[in-house]
Amino acid sequence: MTEILVTGGLGYIGSHCCVALMEAGYTPVVVDNLSNSSPTTLDRMQQISGVRPKFHKADVRDGGALDRIFAKHRFAAVIHFGALKAVGESVAKPLDYYDNNVGGTLTLIGAMLRAGLKKMIFSSSATVYGQAATVPIREDFPRSATNPYGRSKLIAEDILEDLSLADGGWRIARLRYFNPVGAHESGLIGENPKGVPNNLLPFICDVAAAHRDHLAIFGGDYSTPDGTGIRDYIHVMDLVEGHLAALRFLNERPGLLTVNLGTGKGISVLEMVRTFERVTGCDIPYRVTGRRPGDVGECWADPTLAHHILGWRAHRTLDDICLDAWRWRSLESTSFL
């Protein structure tokens, strides 16, 4: 029984990661403060895996609580998802973001040191590339931040780098996610944004479910083939499988690993809309409006390094992404909540 501490393990990506960990024979132990999740996700994870993950309701900023949790388990590694992630909110409440995302990471590292554990996988983001000058984006591109959320990820990345330079015993993976989308194929867990969704695919699902009458496409005048923005949408199950590959890598080698987790394929907003319509049979009425402030035209990964070093690559298709997102959305609105 190899126990892995998963902070934020009831959230969107963390819950999928726990399912993948259980399938691979690990025992995930979730620490989550429920600020953006619900304990009912534990029931759904149990339905999928047949096992209920262990859960501690705690905040990663609470060092005492972490010490008590570390005393109860023998963790082989920590996967640190627990953070705030809304860009707009981070502009309005920057201190909350530095406190949770930077302070939480520091407190967690302190507890790991007290427990003698030096293996961590950290959720970073393509946002650390700021407005990249060219695509595809490689790991050695310059980093910058355009908002406090992005800066909190930059700072946490730097802390982890300094730590690995100071103590060669640390094994750290900084995984830079592009656009995680979709849901577990069971339709039992997925992304559940509160209020009006900011992200494209949850918004498309809202339109398909007739909760909104149309999609606003933010900009039709980018220098892309159809004029709409291009992103690298990665199925959440492919993404979490990248974490398992990183875990195997860290078991073999100490040091600092920094890799992109993306597909290497750019998809436009219109391609996403058309694919969703084709595979689900739903109509998605849309209107092209002005650009969203802060948006870039194109952002997609060069995932070569992850394939080379980890032997990992995303293999699920855009059809899978749309079908799985829609299955989750349809089941969730009829059977649950």
User: Which residues are part of the catalytic machinery?
Assistant: 149
Angle at CA of residue 152, ends 148 and 158, nearest 5°: 140
CB of 106: closest distance to ligand NAD in angstroms?
12
Residue from the set 217, 234, 247, 257 that interacts with ligand UDP by CB under 6 A: 217
Radius of gyration of the chain (CA): 19
Residue 82 sits in the site that holds ligand NAD (CB under 6 A)? yes
User: What is the contact mask toward ligand NAD in residues 101 to 130, using x (rule: CB under 6 A)?
Assistant: ---x------------------x-x-----
| Segment lying near ligand NAD (by CB under 6 A), choices 78-86, 137-145, 160-168, 290-298 | 78-86
Residue 157 sits in the site that holds ligand NAD (CB under 6 A)? no
Quick one: DSSP state of residue 24? T
Among residues 80, 100, 79, the alpha carbon closest in space to that of 90 is found at 100
> Are β-strands 233-235 and 119-125 bridged in parallel, bridged antiparallel, or unpaired?
unpaired
Cβ proximity to ligand NAD, 31 vs 217, nearer residue: 31
- The torsion angles phi and psi of 15, rounded to 5 degrees, stand at -65, -40
Residue 332 sits in the site that holds ligand NAD (CB under 6 A)? no
Helix, coil or strand: residue 312 = coil
Residue with tokens 């407005």: 131
- In terms of C-beta density within 10 A (0-12 exposed, 13-18 middle, 19 or more buried), how is residue 213 classed? exposed
Residue 93 sits in the site that holds ligand NAD (CB under 6 A)? no
* DSSP for 274-318, written as a single string: HHHHHHH-----EEEEPPPTT--SEE-B--HHIIIII-------H
Residue 292 sits in the site that holds ligand UDP (CB under 6 A)? yes
Site residues (CB under 6 A) for ligand NAD, limited to 37-56 = 37
Residue 288 sits in the site that holds ligand UDP (CB under 6 A)? no
Side chain identity, residue 229: G
Q: What residue ranges bind ligand UDP (CB under 6 A)?
A: 179, 198-200, 203, 215-218, 229, 231, 269, 292, 295, 299
Q: What residue ranges bind ligand NAD (CB under 6 A)?
A: 7-8, 10-14, 32-37, 59-61, 81-85, 100, 104, 123, 125, 177, 180
